[in-house]
Amino acid sequence: MAKPDRLFRVLDALRRLPQPVTAERLAAEMEVSPRTLYRDIGALRAAGARIEGEAGLGYCLTEDPALPPQMFTRLEVEALMLGLAEVGLAGDPALAKAAEAAGAKIIATLPERVQRQALHAAQAVYRCEARAPAPAHLGLIREAIWEERAVDMIYTDLSGRETQRRIYPLSVVWMDRALMLLAQCRLRQDFRRFHLKAMRDVRLSEESFRPGRVSLLRAFHRILKEQPYEKDRAFGKDQPPKWR
């Protein structure tokens, strides 16, 4: 691994791991010897990172030169930590890991007093009923949305009938008990809502609908806002939420 990449990973580990972080723990994380880790800590300090501690005691990152300074009110800190904790329970391991990394980066940019507020927030999230794991193809759907690529799939509707579909994925909606995908169905030539769990053989196509996603999503939201809400079997037993 190139040294700049390793130094970046050391900073990331110092943000994520409970402090103080021992040199042995950091060395294991980087897959290098403790001697190399000590040299990396020295290089980061020379570059402007405020890393307190020493060999045998552990290290704390008190000021991170790689991130701009941030300031939040105490209530904003509570909102951030609560939201990130909720993402961690969403049932998607990739999002949970991203939320943990994002929280570590945010905390690393805060003054020491506000860091303590974030690390010891007054509110927490707990769910007696864990959410079901997200479908394996959620990551592919996210990539398709980011890249504005059409998706091919086989979809099972409420009657149990399967059809081959090509869709333009627009947005994933996390509901209480289901993940829904807002999309334009090329087969029906209309907007549709799809249960992610009812999709299989999901794959990216070569077709791009860039730069149409934003305009399509706005049109979809406008239709949802204008139409009266009735019982919609696609959303389960509960009344669907208002869309914004």
pLDDT of res. 68: 63
pLDDT of res. 86: 93
As a whole number of angstroms, the distance between CA 117 and CA 68 comes to 19
For 74-139, the DSSP string reads HHHHHHHHHHHHHHHTSS-HHHHHHHHHHHHHHHHTS-HHHHHHHHT-S-----SSPPPPPPTTHH
Rounded to 10°, the helix 3-16/34-46 angle is 90
97 closest CA partner among 80, 84, 116: 84
Whether residue 30 contacts residue 7, with contact meaning beta carbons closer than 8 Å, is answered with no
Class of the 3-63 domain?
Answer: mainly alpha
The series of mean pLDDT values per 10 residues for the chain, 244 residues long, is: 85 85 90 91 88 85 67 90 93 93 87 88 89 93 97 94 97 92 95 96 97 93 74 42 39
The structure's pTM equals 0.69
Strands, E, within the chain: which ranges? 50-54, 58-63, 149-156, 162-174, 179-185, 190-195, 199-208
pLDDT of res. 20: 86
Neighbours of 125 (CB within 10 A): 13
